[in-house]
Amino acid sequence: MASTFHGIETARRSLFAAQSSLNTTGHNIANTNTAGYSRQVVNLVATNPITAPGFSRHHTAGQLGTGVEAVSITRVRESFLDSQYRNENKALGQFQVRQDTLSKLEGVVNEPSQTGLRSVIAKFWNSWSDLSKDTENIDGRKVVLEQTLAMVDALNYSARQLNDLKDDLSESIEIRLKSAQSLMGTIAQLNGEIRRIEGLGDHANDLRDQRDLVTDQLSQLINVRVEEQAGGYTIFMGTRQLVAGEVATPPADVASLMEAYDAGDLNSGQLHGTIYSRDQYVESYLGELNNIATTMAFGEFEITLPKGTVLPEGTELDGVVYTGSNRILDQETVVTVKGLNGLHQLGYSLGDPSDGLPFFVFQKENGDLVTDDSAGLQGLGALNFRLNPAIAENANLIATSMRVSGAGTTGEEVINGNNSLAVLFSQMRDTRFDFDSGPDQNRNTVDAYFRSIVGQLGVQSAEATRLLNNQVIITNQVEARRQSVSGVSLDEEMANLIKFQHAYNAAARNMTVMDDTIDRIINRMGRVGL
């Protein structure tokens, strides 16, 4: 038999349930724009009905309902979408950094323009052509000097910019690593808090949202695999475990991060993209610039020396040593020369019968000047590429002539009117240099080599932009699906608000009815005739 006050209790439960629902709706509305928030619902369950088992079962209907109970408040979320999102997000992070680096490289290359490297190299050849028309005077030499300095400066400057870019990327690796470390720490901490709260039987909805948000942020930095275990999220990067329960073991420093990178554990995300950009893109363009500098100075090429050329005493070309009377070439001779340095040393400067100086030098950090590649190309590159300082000080040391009078005698005199060397220098614009001293000979003009670099950069950058755009679309799609499940819809919340308000009002009315019936029993019954 139900108690007299049964109805009041049922109505009370109803009021409380409606109130919880209203409060949760309010919470949802409040967090409409909170990042990472997933909408919450109050799960209502009818409470256990009153039954009267037994032989002397009463003559009332059993299973009398006892009202409602809000058993739990849970968030609406699909963990499958989370892992999908994190997968796409890491690729997004990776492509963002790559595309960004490549577009910065495009800025360094600065083509097409009238001020880029291509232009200064063209002006360098042109200045030699101008000089070839007036080799007896200093003015043409000054122009060659200035154009050479401009070209060398352009290479130095580009190399410096690339080095700066490398430093920036290294710094950004450190910053991103720090941020990843702190995110992992936060996840471990949240793991602990969630475990403690859920140990009491509740759902730590808002903390779980926070943990998912932090994991999302982490997934942009590195590739993560998330497993939900008893202790909370266990997070792996490749084979490395980064967070387990309340313990975070992030890569301690850049060195251990690089280990993970080399081992293939770190294979995506912004951190991977940054390391990749630094070690692949920037390094490779720096290598190409270095190759341009060292090849201009030392790269082999074939030229035809004109008839009547008098080579400096002791010159060795293709294994032939020119000395004495065979210094004078009685016919056109095809020889292999080692770079513009080698070529410049075949001639004579203005009025000085000692042979030409090396045209370019590489300045080592300790100030030493390297003028040939006998010690290898290690440490030589666009950054320390210089015009020979002796020539920079005295433009007359620029060699243009390949002929002396009285060859072999002590009174050799340079024939300044001979412009063979200047013409040869000017023709270098169409000469194929050996850009690769390996067995697979890769001969190209300087201009064509530079063009191929710019073309390659263009392809890479266009490709990176395309991949990034695709990835943005994919990531947005996954995010939209996630929002579709978990996002707060104001329309829905308003409708719910009305629904729960009505439920609350009805429960209150129910309470009033119960109150009236009891009032009837207590105050009005048993007063017959009164």
Partner 1 sequence: MTIRVTQSMMNSQMIRNITTNMTRMNKLQEQNSTGMKINRPSDDPVGITFALRYRSEIDANEQYKKNVNATLSVLEYSDTTLGQAGDILQRVRELIIKGGNGALEQTSLDAIKVEIQQNYNQMIDIANTQFNGKYLFNGELTETRPYAKTELTDAIDLGASPPVLKAYHNKTDSGKINYELSAGLTLDLGVSGNDVFGAPLDPAATPEEMAGSDNIFALLQRAYDMLDSGDSEGVADLLDQFDTRMNTILTKRAEVGARVNRVEIIADRLLDIEGNLQVSQANVEDADIAEVLMKLKMEENIYQASLSVGARIIQPSLVDFLR
Binding site for partner 1 (CB under 8 A): 32-33, 102-103, 106, 109, 111-112, 118-119, 122-123, 125-126, 129-130, 132-134, 136-137, 306, 308, 403, 405, 415-420, 423, 426-427, 429-430, 447-448, 450-452, 454-459, 461-462, 465, 476, 479-481, 483-485, 487-491, 494-495, 498
Shorter beta-carbon distance to partner 1: residue 184 or 404? 404
Shorter beta-carbon distance to partner 1: residue 36 or 192? 36
Shorter beta-carbon distance to partner 1: residue 34 or 323? 34
* Residue showing tokens 């993209």: 273
Residue by residue, DSSP assigns 296-360 as HHH-EEEEEEPTT-BPPTTEEETTEEE-GGGGB-SS-EEEEEEHHHHHHTTSEETTEEEEPPPSE
Shorter beta-carbon distance to partner 1: residue 120 or 183? 120
DSSP helix/strand/coil, 61: coil
Nearest to 336 by CA among 437, 448, 447: 437
- Cis bond before residue 53 (omega within 30° of 0): no
Shorter beta-carbon distance to partner 1: residue 45 or 490? 490
- We find the least distance from the C-beta atom of residue 159 to partner 1, in angstroms, to be 18
Query: Quick one: 118 exposed, middle or buried, by C-beta within 10 A (0-12, 13-18, 19+)?
Result: buried
Shorter beta-carbon distance to partner 1: residue 361 or 423? 423
Return the amino acid letter for 63. Q
Shorter beta-carbon distance to partner 1: residue 336 or 452? 452
- We find the least distance from the C-beta atom of residue 204 to partner 1, in angstroms, to be 23
- We find the least distance from the C-beta atom of residue 226 to partner 1, in angstroms, to be 24
Two tokens, residue 39: 């909408």
- We find the least distance from the C-beta atom of residue 373 to partner 1, in angstroms, to be 27
- We find the least distance from the C-beta atom of residue 426 to partner 1, in angstroms, to be 5
Shorter beta-carbon distance to partner 1: residue 212 or 373? 212
- We find the least distance from the C-beta atom of residue 135 to partner 1, in angstroms, to be 9
CA dist 231 and 234 (Å) reads: 8
Dmax (CA) for the chain in angstroms is: 159
How far is the CA of 480 from the CAs of 204, 211, 466, 474, 477, in angstroms?
A: 24, 20, 21, 10, 5
CA dist 142 and 395 (Å) reads: 6
CA dist 351 and 136 (Å) reads: 9
Q: What is the CA radius of gyration of the chain?
A: 41
Shorter beta-carbon distance to partner 1: residue 302 or 519? 302
- We find the least distance from the C-beta atom of residue 480 to partner 1, in angstroms, to be 6
Strand partners, 232: 229
CA dist 184 and 215 (Å) reads: 8
Give backbone dihedrals phi and psi of 223, rounded to 5 degrees, phi first. -80, 130
* Residue showing tokens 């080095």: 163
- We find the least distance from the C-beta atom of residue 521 to partner 1, in angstroms, to be 40
CA dist 170 and 492 (Å) reads: 48
- We find the least distance from the C-beta atom of residue 245 to partner 1, in angstroms, to be 33
